[in-house]
Amino acid sequence: SSIRFPASFTGMERKVEITGEAYFEVAHNASKPFRVDFNDKAGGKGEVEVLGTHFDVNTYDDESASKTTLLEGSVKIKTANQVQMLKPGQQAAITSNTITLKKDVDVSQVVAWKDGFFVFNNTDIQTMMRQVARWYDIDVIFEGKIPSDGFTGKISRNVPLSDFLKVLQLNNVHVKTEGRRVTIST
């Protein structure tokens, strides 16, 4: 993840640019709005306008959509084609300049990363392993039929990768490691 911002916010707004994922707690200031700019997976521009709030923005290239999840307060999501207001517990997913709203999101699962945990709630193995790959800086390869079971649990991000992979093996997932490459098969 990366974030770009000026040494000091001068002018009429507070603007940052992100790639990857970032969590924000922003104080309301009507005379100097806070904005987060990002690119969606299709290369379109997205913007979160903050109205005093706690929220998470996830814009990883390997995810299917850029997502903004609101914990507290309110934010306005903008693309070239749409504007959407979020309420706490909602998530906006942006793909190809289209905003899709999801209600009643498990916000504790979304922001678990900032508290040092992986949290999965019936999460498919591909989604789970994308998070693991980013954290441990590994390449994940799938061979054969991809397991369709969902995984549920909470694991510290401080555990060694080998321990994480042992948990998968205990759940009948075949795992082979070669250097930085992890192969998942059935």
Residue with tokens 């075949």: 174
The CA distance from 52 to 72, in Å, is 8
At residue 135, the 3 state secondary structure works out as: helix
The CA distance from 86 to 94, in Å, is 13
pLDDT tens-digit series, residues 44-86: 788 888 877 899 999 998 898 999 999 999 899 998 889 999 9
CA nearest 153: which of 114, 122, 184?
A: 122
Q: Provide the pairing of β-strand 34-39 with 14-26.
A: parallel
pTM: 0.81
DSSP string, 50-106: EEEEEEEEEE-TTSSSEEEEEEEEEEEEE-SS-EEEE-TT-EEEEETTEEEEE-S--
The CA distance from 23 to 50, in Å, is 12
Q: Along the 186 residues of the chain, how does pLDDT read in single tens digits?
A: 999 999 999 889 999 999 999 999 998 888 888 999 998 776 778 888 887 789 999 999 889 899 999 999 989 999 888 999 999 999 999 988 889 999 989 999 999 999 999 999 999 999 999 999 999 999 999 998 887 888 999 999 999 999 999 999 988 889 999 999 999 986
